[in-house]
Amino acid sequence: MEKDPVLRLSRYNRLLKKMKSLGFHHVFSDNIADAIGISSSLVRKDFAYLQLSGIKRGGYEIEKILSKLNSILKKDINQNIVLIGCGKIGQALLEYKEFKTDGIQISAGFDTDVNKINPNIPIPIYSIDKLEKYIKENKIQIAIIATPDSAATQIMNNLINAGIKGILNFAPVDLKTTGKCHISNVNLGIEIENLFYMVNSKHITEEINSIKK
Amino acid sequence: MEKDPVLRLSRYNRLLKKMKSLGFHHVFSDNIADAIGISSSLVRKDFAYLQLSGIKRGGYEIEKILSKLNSILKKDINQNIVLIGCGKIGQALLEYKEFKTDGIQISAGFDTDVNKINPNIPIPIYSIDKLEKYIKENKIQIAIIATPDSAATQIMNNLINAGIKGILNFAPVDLKTTGKCHISNVNLGIEIENLFYMVNSKHITEEINSIKK
DNA sequence: TAGATTGTTAATCGATTAACAATC
DNA sequence: TAGATTGTTAATCGATTAACAATC
């Protein structure tokens, strides 16, 4: 079921933070496995890979795992990210509370629309002309693109030029990873297409099976 | 390399549309494999699964493949979907124009907040009490959850009870697929964490290696 | 016919899980 | 001690590829 090992690390992180806040100090691989829906073997294997050791019968020390995960996920650095495109989706992201919980901070938004530009709000919105300079001066590594698709490719090039290392793209274009920059495309239309496919693939399978008989 | 079979289908679709526009009528599994970067066996296996047959030595008829792919990827999509949770993200989704381009239509929103409920707008927003009835009456198959995480699990159960077959979940909880329902989790925090990890993973590998030595 | 390509079975690969000895 | 949990090896599973007989 789970395909991406990195996503699993984030899930461990999230779960263990919750457990810590509930007062737990130790955890068994079995507990984690249950909560995340994988096998305990995999949890132990992941921890072994990260050079985290537990105590037989005593489990793993939550604090130790969290500090390892944090150093890996670079949360301790608490780096800022920027948002390009402050339309409906961009606005929703600016106000997305869960980011704070995760220690993620959008430090500035950028847009071409003068009506949206406003440097005097908690998360300032600047003209897109200032994007490259801002990224360089603040050594931003990660950016979110929430522009229309027509603008996305140009923006991506600007971001890469400015030194951005990772992009989360909501524009409905498949931006392609270059060696210099990781790009994660979140294409809502395709996600829903996928669901329709999944939902209807059962019928297809049944069809095929009935034909085979 | 390629993990998602559905994604492969849309790649076939894209490639073959281009070939068709260039005047081609037939294509070999080997050509497609080359262009997409997979093995010809996999192409043939995919086509076999879709009950598309070719001609030994003559290849596959592009038109036949395209019409099959279109029926799989597009036709089912003219169904309506519903949205639960009309906060910032929900609102952004309601107004997301790209959905229309893809033939996806949100027919109603649902919320607990009486201030948001309004049946007299283009996409009506109803009280969440009416959710199950609406789904059953309109035979809705797909739903989007954009509620806070605290509500998401309960909503999921209601949706499954009402007969929903696929859920796109934006709440920052990992909802788990049951046999009856496909769930696709879009967790923005985790996506960004993932990027930080990718950006920094080179250093980590080096770290681990240096420790091992 | 000789050559090329499909359709399908067997082999491979990587990721996950099961199993269990070590040991707290 | 008896019981429980880790750490690790072997088994399994699913997805992809290689190989090749069938056949156009």
A98 neighbourhood in chain B, CB within 8 Å: 149, 172, 188-189
State which amino acid sits at residue A150. S
Q: Residue A87: what pLDDT?
A: 94
- Work out the pLDDT band at B65, boundaries 50, 70, 90: very high
Residue B213, pLDDT above cutoff 70: no
User: What's the mean pLDDT in B54-73?
Assistant: 93
What are the DSSP calls for A8-62, one per residue? Answer: HHHHHHHHHHHHHHTT--EE-HHHHHHHHTS-HHHHHHHHHHTT---BTTTBEEH
Does B129 touch chain A if contact means CB atoms closer than 8 Å? no
Evaluate if the CB of A53 falls below 7 Å from strand C: no
pTM of the full structure:
0.81
Cα-Cα end-to-end distance for chain A: 30
Mark the nucleotides of strand D covered by protein, meaning any atom under 7 Å from a CB. 3-9, 15-19, 22-24
Per-residue pLDDT tens digits for A175-204: 877 777 888 888 888 788 778 877 776 544
- Protein residue at shortest CA distance from C1' of C18: A41
A16 burial type by CB count under 10 A (0-12 exposed, 13-18 middle, 19+ buried): buried
Q: Report the percentage of chain B scoring pLDDT > 90.
A: 62
- Work out the pLDDT band at A206, boundaries 50, 70, 90: very low
Of A3, A14, A200, the CB nearest to B76: A200
- How far apart, in whole angstroms, are the C-alpha atoms of residue B208 and residue B150? 38
- How far apart, in whole angstroms, are the C-alpha atoms of residue A73 and residue A85? 26
Residue B210, pLDDT above cutoff 70: no
CB-based contacts of A99: which residues, under 8 Å, 6+ apart? A93, A105, A106, B188, B189, B192
User: Does A92 contact B88 at a Cβ distance shorter than 8 Å?
Assistant: yes
Per-residue pLDDT tens digits for A97-133: 889 888 889 999 999 999 999 999 999 999 999 999 9
Q: Can you read off the two tokens belonging to residue A199?
A: 């939902």
Tell me the count of A-B CB pairs closer than 8 A: 165
Mark the nucleotides of strand C covered by protein, meaning any atom under 7 Å from a CB. 3-9, 15-19, 22-24
User: What's the mean pLDDT in B130-137?
Assistant: 97
User: What's the mean pLDDT in B195-204?
Assistant: 69
Q: Residue B202: what pLDDT?
A: 55
Q: Residue A207: what pLDDT?
A: 43
User: What's the mean pLDDT in A131-146?
Assistant: 96
User: What's the mean pLDDT in B130-150?
Assistant: 95
User: Does B99 contact A7 at a Cβ distance shorter than 8 Å?
Assistant: no
Nearest-Cα distance to chain A for B9, in Å, is: 10
- Work out the pLDDT band at A76, boundaries 50, 70, 90: low
Does B195 touch chain A if contact means CB atoms closer than 8 Å? yes
Q: Residue A151: what pLDDT?
A: 95
Q: Residue B59: what pLDDT?
A: 96
- How far apart, in whole angstroms, are the C-alpha atoms of residue B209 and residue B211? 5
Per-residue pLDDT tens digits for B148-186: 999 999 999 999 999 999 999 999 888 877 777 888 888
User: What's the mean pLDDT in A14-40?
Assistant: 94
Q: Residue B75: what pLDDT?
A: 58
B95 neighbourhood in chain A, CB within 8 Å: 88
Q: Which nucleotide is nearest to A54 (CA to C1')?
A: D6
Q: What angle do CA A149, B189, B141 make, to 5 degrees?
A: 70
Q: Residue B78: what pLDDT?
A: 65
Tell me phi and psi for residue A50, to 5 degrees: -85, 10
Closest by CA to B163, choosing from B82, B46, B55, is B82
Q: What angle do CA B183, B172, A10 make, to 5 degrees?
A: 95
Q: Residue A210: what pLDDT?
A: 40
